[in-house]
Chains A and B, each alone.
Chain A
Amino acid sequence: SQTIHQWPATLVQPVGSPLSLECTVEGTSNPNLYWYRQAAGRGLQLLFYSVGIGQISSEVPQNLSASRPQDRQFILSSKKLLLSDSGFYLCAWSVRGKGNQPQHFGDGTRLSIL
């Protein structure tokens, strides 16, 4: 069966510090991968998606970037965090090439910026 791992589960960072959140998927090959941010009471906002290694698409302009160095690894980064980057970050995967398939989520990273 497929599993998705995210770490760390919780992170507290000062303003201006760098960020690296990692997500890995097991049990499937060539998945589509996604990064979302969920603010309290505001639903899920798609940040990035990737249909293959090195292929990253951004949905919204922001202070963050994403990379996919391996087929089942997705990384969310920032060089200098802002207060507005606080939130709950979720990684998800879906079957590649099938745009109608549901997405499956990890348990997220709760990021607090001080």
Chain B
Amino acid sequence: QKEVEQDPGPLSVPEGAIVSLNCTYSNSAFQYFMWYRQYSRKGPELLMYTYSSGNKEDGRFTAQVDKSSKYISLFIRDSQPSDSATYLCAMNAGGTSYGKLTFGQGTILTVHP
């Protein structure tokens, strides 16, 4: 079993839809959670960083963490064609000096006009 499972999609939605992206994990030591957006032929760009259960909102993006269920989500409201990208979840147990991240496989999202 992989430490982090992420539905690879692809996910295709119409413009304006609410998008839900999800990751589950098995390692209860993970305490810090990130979402990255990666456009084609570019590096991942940090979208959200959270370290506690609950919700964190930034504009159209909401990150949700449920540590009891080992489940994290990223919601995108009023999705736009510019949101079309691969979304990667990543997590970190902390406790080391160098910050080892464990990534999901990525979900490919297409928002069509």
Overall SS of chain B's interface: loop
Nearest A residue to B41 via CB reads A110
- CB pair B42–A43 under 8 Å, yes or no, is no
- CB pair A42–B105 under 8 Å, yes or no, is yes
B residues 49-101 in Cβ contact with A at 8 Å:
49, 51, 88, 90, 92, 94-101
- Bound together, the chains give a CA A97 to CA B51 distance in angstroms of 17
Quick one: which of A57, A98, A110 has the most chain B CB within 10 A? Answer: A98
Point out the residues of chain B lying under 8 angstroms from A98, CB to CB: 97, 99
- CB pair B43–A90 under 8 Å, yes or no, is yes
For the A-B complex, the count of residue pairs with Cβ-Cβ distances under 8 Å equals 71
- Bound together, the chains give a CA A103 to CA B38 distance in angstroms of 14
- Bound together, the chains give a CA A103 to CA B49 distance in angstroms of 10
- What is the distance, in angstroms, from A86's C-beta to the closest C-beta of chain B? 15
Nearest A residue to B4 via CB reads A43
A113 interface contact, C-beta 8 A: no
- CB pair B97–A107 under 8 Å, yes or no, is no
Interface residues on chain B, size class:
20 to 34
B25 interface contact, C-beta 8 A: no
Point out the residues of chain A lying under 8 angstroms from B7, CB to CB: none
Beyond contacts A41-B105, A96-B97: 12 other A-B pairs, Cβ-Cβ < 8 A, are A32-B99, A42-B105, A44-B101, A46-B101, A51-B98, A98-B99, A99-B94, A99-B97, A100-B31, A102-B46, A105-B44, A108-B41
Chain B residues near A (Cβ < 8 Å)? 8, 31-32, 34, 36, 41-46, 49, 51, 88, 90, 92, 94-101, 103-106
Chain A residues near B (Cβ < 8 Å)? 6, 32, 41-44, 46, 49, 51, 57, 90, 92, 94, 96-108, 110
> Which 8 A-B residue pairings sit nearest by Cβ, starting from the closest?
A105-B43, A100-B94, A99-B96, A99-B99, A43-B105, A107-B43, A100-B32, A44-B103
